[in-house]
Amino acid sequence: MHRILIVGGGSIGERHVRCFLKTGRAEVALCDNRPERLQQVAAAYPLIGAYADFDQVALSEFHAAVICVPADLHVPWARRGVEAGAHVLIEKPLSLSLDGCDDLDRLAKKKGRVVGVAHVRRAMPAMQAIKRELDSGKIGDVLALSCIVGYDHRTARPDYRDTYWVHREQGGGAIFDISSHLTDMIQWYLGPIKSVMAVYDHLQIEGTEAEDTLACLLRFRNSSAVGAVYVVAWQAQRTDQLILSGTKGSIHCDGWEGRVGVMLRDGRWTWTEGLKDKPDSKGQTDGPFIYEANNFLDATEGKGKLLCPLSEARHTIEVCLALTESGRRRAEVVVAGPEDVLGG
C-alpha cells in the first residue's frame, strides 16, 4: 500500500482521493487550506491524514503527491515534492508558463523520481480505441482532424465563481482549462504541433472575463495534416466529437456517447459502442481516473511508462501560449516561440 498525499481538496482533488482509494493500492491523505472542506472530505473517505498547511507536511513520509491546486502553483509545489523524495502527479495543465518546467524535469531525473501530468483523456476507453486504430494504420496517413467540444460550464460547475475558472491567471478559460485536454490528445495522435491560428473571446459566462469560446487551426511538425478545434464552454447541449480523416478511411468518435466508428473506402462503418460508463453531472466517470492512478503507481514501481510524461505536457503549454499569442496578434504563430509569427 502506497501512502499518497492529495494536495488540494477541490472537485478534482476529491476525485483523486476517491480514485486512488479505488485502486486498492493506496492509503490517502489530503491537504487543503480550507478547514471546512478538509473536514467534509475527511468525513466522506477513510483518510490517513488531513493537513491544513502544505508547508508543514512531511512529504518524505509519502510515496507520492498529487498536485491539484491552481495551475500557477503546479510547478513550484511539484518541485517541493520531488525535493522531498516523493513521486509527483500534477493535475493538468502542467503550468501557465514554461518557467521552471525544465528545472523540474532535470530535478526529477536527478532524484530518480517519476513526475507525470494528469491529462486524463489518454485514459478514456474511446480515446484509447482511436489510438489503437491509428497505430494499426487502418485509415492510412491522417491528413485532416476536427474536434468540437461544448458544454455549459455554469451547469457543470455551479460554484465556478468560487474556483480558479474566474481567474485566467490561475488557469481558467477555454484555452488552458479545456483546449489543453484536446491539445494533449491531438499530439498523442499526430505528434508535436508546429503552428496555430486562433480566435477566442468571452461571450457568455457571467462573473469572469476569461475566454469561454475558442476556434483554432493547427499544423504539425511531422505531418502535413490540418487540424481544427472548436470549444464552447457555454452551449446548452453536450458535444464531444472528433473526426480523423486519412488516406484510406476515417475515424469518428462521439466521446459523450462513448462510441467510435471506422469507415474505410468501401463505405461500410464499423462501430464500437459502450466505451463510456454512465457519466456524473459533470460529464465524467471514475473509470479513466482509476486507470490513470494505476498507471502512475505502475510507473513509480518501474512497471510501465507514464500516460503523459513531462515533455509532452510541456509541449501542451507551448501550444496554449501560442494560441493565446495568436488570438492577440490575429496571426499564425509558430509553437516554437510566440515571437515567431508566420505571415504576421
Kindly report, residue by residue over 76-85, the tens digit of the pLDDT. 999 999 999 9
Q: Quick check: do 2-118 and 123-276+309-334 share a fold?
A: no
pLDDT higher than 90, residue 116 = yes
Query: In a 3-state reduction of DSSP, which class is residue 278?
Result: coil
Measured CA to CA in angstroms, residue 145 lies from 8, 101, 185, 320 at distances of: 35, 29, 12, 18
Report phi then psi at 152, rounded to 5: -110, 105
CB neighbourhood size of 322 (10 A)? 29
- Average model confidence (pLDDT) for the chain? 94
First-to-last CA distance in the chain? 55
Q: Helix crossing, 286-300 with 11-22: angle to 10°?
A: 70
The kind and range of the H/E element at 143 are: strand 142-152
Q: Where are the domains of the chain?
A: 2-118, 123-276+309-334
pLDDT higher than 70, residue 339 = no
CB neighbourhood size of 196 (10 A)? 27
pLDDT higher than 90, residue 108 = yes
pLDDT higher than 90, residue 127 = yes
Kindly report, residue by residue over 147-174, the tens digit of the pLDDT. 999 999 999 999 999 888 988 888 899 9
Give 228: exposed, middle or buried? Use CB within 10 Å, 0-12, 13-18, 19+. middle
Kindly report, residue by residue over 230-260, the tens digit of the pLDDT. 999 999 999 999 999 999 999 999 999 999 9
Which residues, in sequence order, are CB contacts of 75 under 8 Å at separation 6+?
90, 94, 95, 99, 100, 101, 104
pLDDT higher than 70, residue 282 = no
Decide yes or no: CATH 3.30.360.10 for domain 123-276+309-334: yes
Amino acid code (one letter) for 237 = Q
pLDDT of res. 336: 66
Read off the C-alpha cell for 100: 521552471
Domain covering 2-118: architecture? 3-Layer(aba) Sandwich (3.40)
pLDDT of res. 279: 72
